[in-house]
Amino acid sequence: MKSVLRLFFLFLGISLIFVACKDDDADENPVDPTAENKKALGTSAEDLLSDDIYTKLRVELVSTASFQPDAASIQAFRNFIEERVFKPGGIQFIERQIPDQAGAPFTLDEIKDFEEEFRTQYTVGNDIAVYIFFSNGSSSNDTQSTVTLGTAYRNTSIVIYQKTLEIITQSEPQLLPLLEQTTLEHEFGHIFGLVNLQNDDIHSVHEDPNSAKHCVVEECLMYFDATNVGRSQLTRLFAKGAVPPLDPLCIADLQAKGGK
């Protein structure tokens, strides 16, 4: 018994030394404080939905001088998030404005450069942060027949092509809030991991074989693909006059990852 105890203390001593060494190393090479926010799309689904690790959610909304989202759209978007996540510490929206950025249309690399320069909210402690940029320029991927309304490009990063949304709804500006909300909620659905983004959804059968990482259910929010929107899709959305809700299969996926 005695020797077992001695062995135990010896082992404890070794682990303490090991831990101390590890800390020293950390001081010499400080970890990138933004590293938690530079992961692949869909990998933070559980962290965003549940309160297992992160009890609070901060959403930083960065818009430019010329293009800002409608306040009612932001409120509706907030309600959408509140309906799905467990965050007993609350959800905080931080709205900021920056000057219009030059050089549009923007490549995704340029959008990432803006994030590097202008994002101020990062995941820290029990507090997870999401960044959304409302771009004053369109996407460089746009063609004559299709446009990109928004893109979720990292675990907690989204761009909304606000100028594109405003151009599309120019003749019917009353449709702008509908397009804003649909795009915001759809892209947030992607950072929630929909559909089957990390190939780990329990209902993976509802991933659309014709549109990867989107939902096969036509009435669902995640059916609408905001990255390659053509005229017919827009006409359909506008004819409905309402933001498509998540269908029961997508909601079940979120619940399986700790969401409501």
Positions that interact with Zn ion (CB under 5 A): 215, 217, 220, 222, 225-226, 247, 250
**Rounded least distance, CB 172 to Zn ion, Å:** 23
Q: Which is nearer to Zn ion, 134 or 224 (CB)?
A: 224
**Alpha carbon 135 to its chain's center:** 15
How many residues are there in the chain?
260
Nearer to Zn ion by Cβ, of 101 and 183: the residue is: 183
Give the 3-state secondary structure of 23-37. HHHHHHCCCCCCHHH
CB of 20 to Zn ion, least distance (A): 47
Residues with Cβ within 8 Å of residue 130, at least 6 apart in sequence: 48, 57, 58, 59, 60, 121, 156, 157, 158, 188, 191
To the nearest whole angstrom, how small is the minimum distance from the Cβ of residue 207 to Zn ion?
9
Nearer to Zn ion, 46 or 208 (CB): 208
Q: How far apart are CA 54 and CA 46, in angstroms?
A: 9
CB of 72 to Zn ion, least distance (A): 23
Cβ at position 254, least distance to Zn ion in Å: 10
The three-class DSSP label of residue 229 is strand
Cα–Cα nearest to 126, from 34, 220, 57: 57
15 versus 198: smaller Cβ distance to Zn ion: 198
What is the DSSP code (8-state) at residue 10?
H
Residue number, 185 or 225, with CB nearest to Zn ion? 225
CA distance linking residue 74 with residue 44, whole number of Å: 22
Q: How far is the CB of 29 from Zn ion (least distance, A)?
A: 37
Fill in the DSSP letter of residue 44.
Answer: T
| β-pair type (90-98, 150-154) | unpaired
Residue 58 or 186 having the CB closest to Zn ion: 186
Q: Which residues pair with 97 in a beta bridge?
A: 63
